[in-house]
């Protein structure tokens, strides 16, 4: 009976029933569990004393219980997504991109909500950040489109009339790959502009990192990345030197003591927390900086509490877990069944790597403050669910790496 049932399955169904990649799954679940424990420790005081704008009712477990619910929902969604044949996401890539742009536009309507000078949230009965969906949609669309690139290269090149200036320019643009990049550049500029208006600098960084990774892995010529990187660097220098706010931010990053009552306060308190942890830490739950000293201690700066309570050794072990997760992700990309699955993992995995590097860099003072969270650790239900759903996509690809034989 089992053999007969197996024969009745389509090839796609049999492929989608392959085994999950257990090392990757174990690392994700381990980081999620550690993240929940550290969130409980970091948020205990602020929830008890009701320090934030959120009314916690003095419940010290308020943030932890909220995050736990999203973690359970995220794990369920991760499993459901992993059971889907990831090839179906090709057809959904365009609607997903269009939907994410629509949601980003809704942020600027009365449905949008502001916090700390940024308008990033939608409130439709529950609050979430559309940027979390946009960064996945960009990777999905780029991977679906660029996975066909090998077939497109085999097509005969367009014949240009070299007797006209337009023809010569068109031929030159095609030869250097400019015409191929224009649609992707336009889509990226639209999304980056909407994120810039929120403003959402960390969202822009993650969208760019995922898009650039997919473009690079698809074989786009290297000089486009050199040119694009130069333009981004020039734009950053211009913004820093011509904007008083950005200049002050950079100054407080380089010398936090120069503005301890302003932008330098958070970074200085973070460095105190990291230094207080020493080699072995103060012990789980024994942080002192979480008691009304370090702002955003359960959000963007939760890693500072990790360093204070677990010390250098504990912090390094967590960094090693993230490193193993990222390395395993790229291993899965190299062994993916097809080009689409490989590009999909590369984009998601690079976004995860960029987020971890930027957050730890900000918390330790190696990078200016950007408001970027630490995956699986920082408080935020939407972000955690989306991260686990992304993991589900990677696991769906991993199911087909060792495909069962079709009878």
Taking only the tens place, the pLDDT of each residue in 209-258 is 899 999 888 888 777 778 777 887 787 677 666 666 667 677 777 777 77
Q: Which residues pair with 114 in a beta bridge?
A: 119
Global model pTM greater than 0.85: yes
In percent, the amount of the chain with pLDDT more than 90 equals: 40
Q: State phi, psi for 123 to the nearest 5 degrees.
A: -120, 100
Q: Write the pLDDT tens digit of every residue in 105-131.
A: 988 888 888 776 677 888 777 778 888
Q: Is residue 104 predicted with pLDDT exceeding 50?
A: yes
Report how far Cα 96 is from the mean position of its chain's Cα atoms: 17
Q: How many domains does the chain have?
A: 1
Q: Write the pLDDT tens digit of every residue in 320-378.
A: 999 999 999 999 999 998 899 999 999 999 999 999 999 999 999 888 877 788 999 99
Q: Is residue 34 predicted with pLDDT exceeding 80?
A: yes
pLDDT of residue 158: 58
Higher-confidence position of 251 and 167: 251
Question: What average pLDDT score do residues 194-202 get?
Answer: 82
Dist CA 138 CA 223 (whole Å): 22
What confidence tier does 153 reach under pLDDT thresholds 50, 70, 90? very low
Q: Write the pLDDT tens digit of every residue in 47-71.
A: 888 766 677 778 889 999 999 999 9
What confidence tier does 157 reach under pLDDT thresholds 50, 70, 90? low
Q: Is residue 407 predicted with pLDDT exceeding 50?
A: no
> What is the side-by-side strand order in the sheet with 112-115?
112-115, 118-123, 127-128
Q: Is residue 23 one of the residues assigned to a domain?
A: no
Question: What average pLDDT score do residues 60-83 get?
Answer: 93
Question: What's the chain look like in SS3?
Answer: CHHHHHHHCCHHHHHHCCCCCHHHHHHHHHHHHHHHHHHHHHHHHHHHCCCCCCCCCCCCCHHHHHHHHHHHHHHHHHHHHHHCCHHHHHHHHHHHHHHHHHHHHHCCCCCEEEECCEEEEEECCCEECHHHHHHHHHHHHHHHHHCCHHHHHHCCCCCCCCCCHHHHHHHHHHHCCHHHHHHHHHHHHHHHHHHHHCCCHHHHHHHHHHHHHHHHHCCCCHHHHHHHHHHHHHHHHHHHHHCHHHHHHHHHHHCHHHHCCCCHHHHHHHHHHHHHHCCCCCCCCCCCCCCCCCCCCCCCCHHHHHHHHHHHHHHHHHHHHHHHHHHHHHHHHHCCCCHHHHHHHHHHHHHHHHHHHHHHHHHHCCCCCCCCCCCCCCCCHHHHHHHHHHHHHHHHHHHCCCCCCCC
Q: Is residue 162 predicted with pLDDT exceeding 70?
A: no
CB 202, CB 362: distance < 8 Å: no
Higher-confidence position of 149 and 131: 131
Length of the chain (residues): 407
Q: Is residue 5 one of the residues assigned to a domain?
A: no
- For residue 50, the enclosing domain spans 33-399
């Amino acid at each position: 009976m089992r053999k007969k049932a197996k024969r009745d399955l389509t090839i796609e169904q049999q492929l989608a029933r392959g085994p999950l990649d257990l090392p990757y799954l174990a690392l994700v679940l381990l980081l999620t569990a550690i993240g929940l424990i550290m969130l409980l420790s970091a948020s205990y005081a602020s929830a008890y004393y009701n320090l934030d704008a959120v009314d916690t009712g003095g419940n010290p477990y308020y943030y932890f219980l909220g995050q736990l619910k999203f973690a359970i929902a995220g794990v369920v969604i991760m499993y459901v997504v992993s059971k889907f044949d990831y090839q179906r996401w090709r057809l959904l890539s365009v609607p997903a991109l269009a939907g994410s742009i629509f949601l980003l536009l809704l942020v600027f309507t009365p449905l949008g909500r502001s916090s700390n000078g940024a308008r990033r949230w939608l409130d439709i009965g529950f609050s979430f950040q559309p940027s979390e969906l946009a960064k996945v949609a960009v990777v999905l669309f780029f991977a679906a489109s660029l996975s066909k690139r090998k077939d497109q290269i085999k097509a005969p090149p367009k014949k240009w009339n070299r007797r006209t200036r337009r023809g010569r320019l068109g031929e030159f643009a095609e030869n250097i790959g400019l015409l191929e990049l224009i649609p992707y550049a336009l889509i990226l500029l639209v999304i980056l502009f909407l994120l810039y208006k929120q403003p959402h600098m960390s969202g822009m960084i993650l969208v760019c990192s995922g898009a650039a990774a997919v473009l690079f892995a698809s074989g786009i010529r290297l000089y486009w990345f050199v040119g694009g990187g130069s333009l981004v660097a020039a734009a950053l220098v211009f913004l820093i030197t011509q904007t008083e706010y950005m200049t002050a931010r950079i100054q407080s990053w380089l010398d936090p003591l120069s503005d301890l009552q302003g932008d330098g306060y958070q970074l200085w308190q973070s460095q105190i927390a990291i230094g207080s942890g020493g080699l072995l830490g103060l012990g789980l739950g024994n942080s002192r900086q979480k008691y009304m000293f370090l702002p955003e201690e359960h959000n963007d700066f939760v890693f500072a509490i990790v360093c204070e309570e677990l010390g250098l050794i504990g912090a390094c072990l967590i960094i090693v877990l993230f490193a193993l997760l990222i390395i395993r992700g790229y291993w899965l990309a190299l062994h993916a069944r097809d080009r689409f699955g490989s590009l999909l993992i590369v984009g998601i995995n690079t976004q995860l790597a960029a987020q971890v590097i930027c957050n730890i860099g900000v918390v330790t003072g190696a990078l200016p403050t950007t408001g970027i969270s630490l995956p699986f650790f920082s408080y935020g239900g939407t972000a955690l669910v989306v991260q686990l759903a992304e993991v589900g996509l990677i696991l769906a690809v991993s199911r087909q790496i060792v495909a069962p034989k079709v009878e």
